[in-house]
Amino acid sequence: MKSNYVAVDLGATSGCVLLSEFKNNKFELKEIHRFPNTIIQMNGRYYWDIYYLYQQIIKGLKIIGNQKISIQSIGIDTWGVDFVAIGEDGHILRSPYSYRDPYTENTPNDYFLKFSQSELYERTGIQIMNFNSLFQFYASKKNKDSALENADKILFIPDALSYLLTGEMVTEYTIATTAHIVNAHTRKLDEKILSSVGLEESDFGRFVYPGEVIGCLTEEVQSITGLSNVPVIAVAGHDTASAVVAIPAQSTNFAYLSSGTWSLMGIESSKPVISTESEKLNFTNEGGVNNTIRVLKNICGMWILEQCRTEWDGVDYSTLIDEANKAESFQCFINPDDPIFANPKNMIQAIYTYCKQSGQKIPDNRGQLVRCIFESLAMRYKEVFSFLKEVSEHPLETLHIIGGGSRNQLLNQYTANALGVEVIAGPSEATGLGNIMVQVLVNNQDETLESLRAKVYDSISLDLFKPADYELWELAYEKYLLIVEKNTNI
């Protein structure tokens, strides 16, 4: 028996519509439509084009409809924190701001004059990042943002797109946890936190968890795409939550690294990890499927290299990796999470500045600069992994790297070297696959998350990286820590 599912997977730089055929206990993914997702800079602000994203989703669904393929269901996942304001008449009030917009800079400090930082962390377990939705709400209210002031409902990006397809408004749990407004203990919206920014639960759509049905395609969407009244499922709406679903783990003794524009390293836990130490290290507790908590750390991942590539006219990754592999090791390090790398006008110059400020050799060629980025990311991964080992309910024997960055074999090897554990890389399309897996769980009561992960393991080819030169990497790690401590931006 075979079934077809559609996953809409939107990242901060690109999106795609995927078709998955689940048959003979295996997943087969087919890319139907891929498209760029770019930030629009206009009148001093940064926006996402929600109408364009909807149009591209419709285009992908129409391709499927033209092929007369019978679809079981559709699921949408996206990046976190950003949201759409909906008016009383049901229409979008303006395109949503991007989390890259600087309007929330220093907002947390202002907010914490009103609401205790320690209480906020105890309630949510969410790391402090200035662009979290909570701080966007606070800044928007303070600036008397017309869209938020006139909003009847606030919908996070995957929920807004599901609304445009179905006419139903929901707030999906995993995406809502990225907003800093969900209580980690009750796993529901926190009224006290909402009240601190002038909001209440009724300002949001119906609260749902992964696996619930949002609604079916509207008659208008059916007419445009040629599809029937296909149900849209609330999958793990946050793309990282979807990616974690697809980890092909064979035991519970693993950590994961979702590698892409952002690197997100974490573990699955049955309960939130909220302590003085986790707060100090700015770890986060985000919602997962099957009542799990994703204890993780956001790390500024391939964003740094992607920004460098724009200054090198988009030179291909294979060339950069080859040049990095030939460069001398451990010449300089950066802290990928230093604020200087958040959104600089010139990323290469930002790296030079960091190296100069920390008294290091400045990279003198492109290969050396890329190697600096890769080695620094591996060191940062080791730093985060060390803490995860302390708080995990299970020993951590393996690191699973998923997402687009899992194809970067050089960085994968560096990571294995730094951590001193086996690294298993793949699947690269973990987010779309995890999206599909939640839909399969809804439609097939005989399956469990564990059984589907075993099927993912059998369906795809995985790459294994064993640690090498561990003692050399340990010495280099000590150097990295000293540099991070020394730099005045830390």
DSSP class of 167: S
Q: Which helix (H) or strand (E) holds 189?
A: strand 188-189
Task: Look at the chain and count its residues.
Answer: 490
| For the chain, the helix, strand and coil percentages under 3-state DSSP, each to the nearest 5 | 40, 20, 35
Looking only at the bridges linking them, the beta strands covering 398-402 and 422-425 are: parallel
Chain centroid to CA 93: 26
Task: Report yes or no: 177 and 190 within 8 Å, Cβ to Cβ.
Answer: no
Helices marked H in 29-172? 50-66, 107-111, 117-124, 133-142, 146-149, 157-166
Contacts 24+ apart (CB under 8 A), 312-321: 312/366, 317/408, 320/366, 320/367, 320/370, 321/370, 321/408, 321/409, 321/410
Cis check: omega of the bond before 427, within 30 degrees of 0: yes
Categorise residue 11: left if φ over 0, alpha if ψ from -120 to 50, beta otherwise.
Answer: beta
Catalytic residue among 110, 239, 322, 458: 239
364 an active-site residue?
no
Token pair of 345 as six digits:
């006008």
Cβ-count burial 304-339 (b if 16+ within 10 Å, e if not): bbebbbeeeeeeebeebbebbeebeebbbbbbbbbe
Q: At what angle do helices 430-443 and 449-459 cross, to 10 degrees?
A: 130
CA distance 414 to 423: 10
Looking only at the bridges linking them, the beta strands covering 263-269 and 254-259 are: antiparallel
Task: Report yes or no: 483 and 430 within 8 Å, Cβ to Cβ.
Answer: no
Beta-sheet strands, E only, within 260-366: 263-269, 284-287, 293-299
Other residues' Cβ atoms within 10 Å of the Cβ of residue 109: 12
End-to-end CA distance of the chain: 56
- 348's CB contacts (< 8 A; 6+ apart) are 308, 311, 369
Residues facing residue 90 across a β-bridge: none
Measure the CA angle with vertex 257, ends 255 and 261; round to 5°. Answer: 165
Token pair of 445 as six digits:
């009561």
Token pair of 370 as six digits:
């890329």
- 8's CB contacts (< 8 A; 6+ apart) are 15, 16, 17, 18, 57, 60, 74, 75, 76, 77, 161, 435
Q: Which residues are marked as active site? A: 239
